[in-house]
Structure 1
Amino acid sequence: MKHFEVNFDGLVGPTHNYAGLSYGNVASQNNANEASNPREAVKQGLAKMKALTELGMIQGVLAPQERPDLATLRRLGFSGSDASVLAQAAAQAPAVLAACYSASSMWTANAATVSPSADTQDGRVHFTPANLTNKFHRSLEPEVTGRILRAVFPGETHFCHHPHLPENDHFGDEGAANHTRLCRDYGQAGVELFVYGRSAFDLSRPAPTRYPARQTLEASQAVARLHGLDEEHCVFIQQNPAVIDQGVFHNDVIAVGNQNVLFYHQQAFLDTQGALDEVRRKFGEGELHLIEVPSAEVGLQDAVRSYLFNTQILTLPSGEMAIIAPTECRDTPAVAAYLGQLVQQGTPIRQVHFMDVKQSMRNGGGPACLRLRVALSEQELAAVNPACLLNEALFVRLNQWADQHYRDRLSFDDLRDPALVHESRAALDELTQILKLGTVYPFQR
């Protein structure tokens, strides 16, 4: 039976804006309060998805969240009509209004942690939505994320959906952005790497001092238990606190893996040698490529600025691997030089493809942030909601949908506009029909 890794990219929502909400994410903070272009953003995302299908990959689509989150604004004391709620929030708590408008669900690497059936005790694909407790605007997502995932991966024969972890910083969970998987083949049992920033219960362990460590060891351990993973196939690695304090807010900003390749920066982990020794032991027989990028060749700031490690590594139908990189990697001299050398070093990575996702990059998310990886067997792929798998017809229809519903400019002042509420709901209502999701949004109920 064949097995595939399918990338499910998040559609950028119609309220995509630059509010600088993500403390610790340098790009998000640096571009705060600039005007965004939601239509361009969603089309850049769709163009990336289409490019991957042209490379022979199977590509899926995940719907965005309903925004603004008026129910949360009402829970926080703003009352009356929708227009009145927006006006009160804009005048009294503009930061809260911006948070409730955030389109951050576009970064579906944070949607959930996924373990394929080859790794789990019950032989099903397991999903746990991330609780994202570290950031208020993201903590609003898990319930709807769970409903969307159940609509895309329906039934209990092949898929197991868990509720998100308790909404407490002790179990702060950022999903697949701090998780990767190494294996010889997508259908074989692999080693799941859980990268955490701190221990919530053992305060004697190192932790960052400037920026928050969003993922806890305890959350990673809980997800591994929920998914029924064998202890001998899990590695818990602490991220280097010093790099978190320099803007590496998730592991996928400093390391990325695919099959038998782990691509990481020299400063990525706290105890690199110990962690990699454990990875080698648990990976077992077979060729394993641990590609370390030295600081002398690519400095940490260049790595973060270009999002060299927030790239996708894909195994193409030919068997070769390719890196999907943002154009910022091409435009950063040290990074471009490194990638030019990498494809000639005899590793499985033989190609680099540059993609323009600037609207996402300016808000702090590169190509890897935009996708949730799901390894599936032929039977499991057949059980996926087919309306969520990208083909030429769906690509054309989603571009037409974006042209009809999305604005080409959005600033903070636009968030006061009640018309944006109606535009967003109309867009999402039509999208649920296109993707055959049913009633996943509160306004539809």
Structure 2
Amino acid sequence: MSMVYEQEARAAQAARAEQRRLDAAAAEQRRADRQRAADERAARLREQQRADQAADRAARAARREERALRRAEALSPERVYHRGTLALVAASGAGSLPAQIAHFVAISPVLLPLPLVVEGAAWVMAAGVAYADARGLPGWVRWVLRGAVVVCATFAAVINYQYGAHLPGLTASERVTAGWGLAAVTLLGPTVFEVRQWVATLAAATPDPDARARRRHARLRRQHHKSVARTADRLLSAAPFGSLSAEEAWERAWSIETGADSPGMTPDLHRRAVKSAARLREAQSPDPTPSANAEESPQGGVDRSPSELEESPDHPTVLAPDLSAAPVLAVEAVPTAVVEPTSDAQSPDSTPAVLPVGVVAAESARTRRATGRVPQSARTRRLQRTPDQLLAEAREATADWSADRLTADAIRQAVRTSAERARGLRDVLRAERAPAGEVVA
């Protein structure tokens, strides 16, 4: 019985201990939740504070920038000039008008309106100049108003000078100084106001940067093409107002005067353009007249090696008949032949020599650069040798040569001819020296 009681007591104690542990864990969890909530509130507050501070800084920067802009706008040269002019005008009126009032009132109180009329007339005329500028009235209107301003301001200056020169209680020099000072103040206001209006008019009439270039272009165009300008003016005056632009009138006038569709072109310029194009085509085309030394220096005749001159693979080798007995029959034995033109120095009765293709190759046309024609007096006149003459000279020059020495380069140097003809002469001479019935390789 006691044992059961002890077990139950221990179980109850363990349960109480477990409950205390759970209660402590729950309390700790609640404390942690409260701390986390407090931290989050503090973080939100700090973030809101930083945002508020950033907004305040941005607002202060915006206000500073706005103040700077207003200050810059207020202190711009245009504002300073306009406001400074108005301040000088106000100071001039404040200095000159009381002196005039005192001067006329000292004479008689009835003369009190006179200074207002004299001083006001100058300012009314100055305002009239500004109105004339704004309305774009003729220049003589402005100058009449300016003359009225000068007359009224000068009359007021004379009155103020007399008043300052007779002020009581001053020395003579002080009176002169006071008189000139009042006169200068009286003239200063209208003068400054008129200068301000003149500067404002010039600033408003200042054109864009290209206006001067356009005016110069129009002046030069009318100066260089006076007849076209007169016709264009007549077209503009004849057309209804605004229906024809100046450029359209100029294009029509140019077409009427010159016949050309594009402004700037004239019949003379078209003729010059055609002649220039013909000269350009003539300079770019090859010279149809071969050079006088074409026989002696054909294309590729100098830079070829002796072995290339000796082989000549581009010309077929044919069986050569016995040319010593019947040289004319050798020409008839070849079906295809090349006719070589003779020079102007030969007689009119001479006929072109017909050569076998296998014996003498046709000379290829050499393309020349467009360097212009050589004058006839500067050309070297040389007689061109016929194929028979070349063959005879080659036989005579190589009569004592061996068969191994019969190369195209050696024959070319001996008879001073082209490489192609030298190869043909080589083939003929080898065929002549070959035994009968043997094919020349």
Normalized against structure 2, the TM-score is what? 0.16
Greater length-normalized contact order (CA 8 Å, ≥ 6 residues apart): 1
Instruction: Compare the two structures and name the one with the higher helix fraction.
Output: 2
Bigger share in strand: 1
Greater C-alpha radius of gyration:
2
TM-score (norm 1): 0.16
